[in-house]
Amino acid sequence: MRVLHAVRSDAFAGVENHVARLARAQHEAGDDVVVVGGDPARMSQVAGDGVRTLAATTVTQVLAAVRRCAVRADVIHAHMTAAEIACAASLFGMERPLVVTRHFARDRGSNPVSALAAAAAARRVDVQIAISRYVADAVAGTSTVIHPGVESTATTAGSGQRDLVVLVAQRLEPEKETHVALRAFAAAGVAALGWRLDIAGAGAERGRLAALARDLGIADAVRFLGHRSDVPQLMERAGVLLAPCPDEGLGLTVLEAMAAALPVVAVGAGGHLETVGAVTGAALHPAGDAACAGRLLAGLATDPHRRDAYGAALQEVQREGFTPAHQARETAMVYRRVV
């Protein structure tokens, strides 16, 4: 099948990563895949040499690129509101199916004008995919739930091969609630046992979080690593991942941790219930409850056998249902319904 993906972006974050991984899996399954949007170098790196990538940083550029390429595509697949609007406009007068993926548990459009344009574009959509049941239940319209996937790894490193590091890997923005992770680390008291907290990510909250670490008395045990492109490698050496964001659509970082057999302490909400929550006895805590998160963290930090068993269980769940190949097969079934 000839597939054209579109995202209005010059970056490479969660959604762009999702698109690139899916495109690679589709190409490996025999599809002819083109991707419009995203940072060209990173998209090419992740999607692979067999996937053609085109830069598109504005709605107008996406519209023009899709209009050019759509005549050779069997299906157009848009990601996020701006690309949906551009694709719907570019397909005017053309009989090509439009599939969209909803990545976030919120309405389309960030302002009244874009919301109006998105509502008009939505009428052109043939089928809607949601990345989790959580997102599907939060957005308008009927959705087919297809979980994203990450590559399974050969990592089976046990606690004896890992550092005494609690890892947080996310943007340092208010909605991510990184402060909960800092408070949980302090409440756990594991710095006294030699553990440190590594925070990989950049954002507007960096200064406030550094001040909070000082106020909590844990500054000497906390490292702000900034933006990192080697998060998978960090996960192979870390002992526990903290995932404090309460409204993740699904959470690629958590899936990557699961693939690396890295124990995860996460909020018991959002997409985490469908990933970490699939494991019996998962370390889940109420949103914003740093004290509970700290108790869960302390229990794992002081019990290496429990960390090993929990990490292995998370990895098994990832390998069974959260791979790009599985995602590509499920997506192909959706395509066949509309082509």
For residue range 94-125, list pLDDT tens digits in order.
999 999 999 999 888 777 777 888 888 889 99
Band of pLDDT at residue 158, cut at 50, 70 and 90: confident
pLDDT at residue 150, as a whole number: 94
Q: Side chain identity at 6, as an amino acid letter? A: A
Cβ 267 vs Cβ 246: under 8 Å: yes
The residue extents of the domains of the chain are 2-149+323-338, 159-321
Fold matches, 2-149+323-338 and 159-321: yes
pLDDT at residue 147, as a whole number: 97
Band of pLDDT at residue 270, cut at 50, 70 and 90: very high
pLDDT at residue 107, as a whole number: 83
For the stretch 17-66, pLDDT in tens is: 999 999 999 999 999 999 999 999 999 999 999 999 999 999 999 999 99
How far is residue 310 from each of residues 188, 276, 281, 313, 317, measured CA to CA in Å? 19, 10, 9, 5, 11
- DSSP annotation of 235 reads H
In CATH terms, the fold of domain 159-321 is Rossmann fold (3.40.50)
pLDDT at residue 190, as a whole number: 98
How far is residue 339 from each of residues 196, 214, 298, measured CA to CA in Å? 52, 58, 52
Question: What's the count of helices (H) and strands (E) in the chain, helices before strands?
Answer: 13, 13
Please tell us whether the domain made up of 2-149+323-338 is placed in CATH 3.40.50.2000: yes
> What is d(CA 251, CA 191) in angstroms, rounded to the nearest whole number?
27
pLDDT at residue 113, as a whole number: 76
Where residue 44 falls (left for φ over 0; alpha for ψ -120 to 50; beta otherwise) is alpha
Rounded to two decimals, the pTM is 0.92
Band of pLDDT at residue 157, cut at 50, 70 and 90: confident
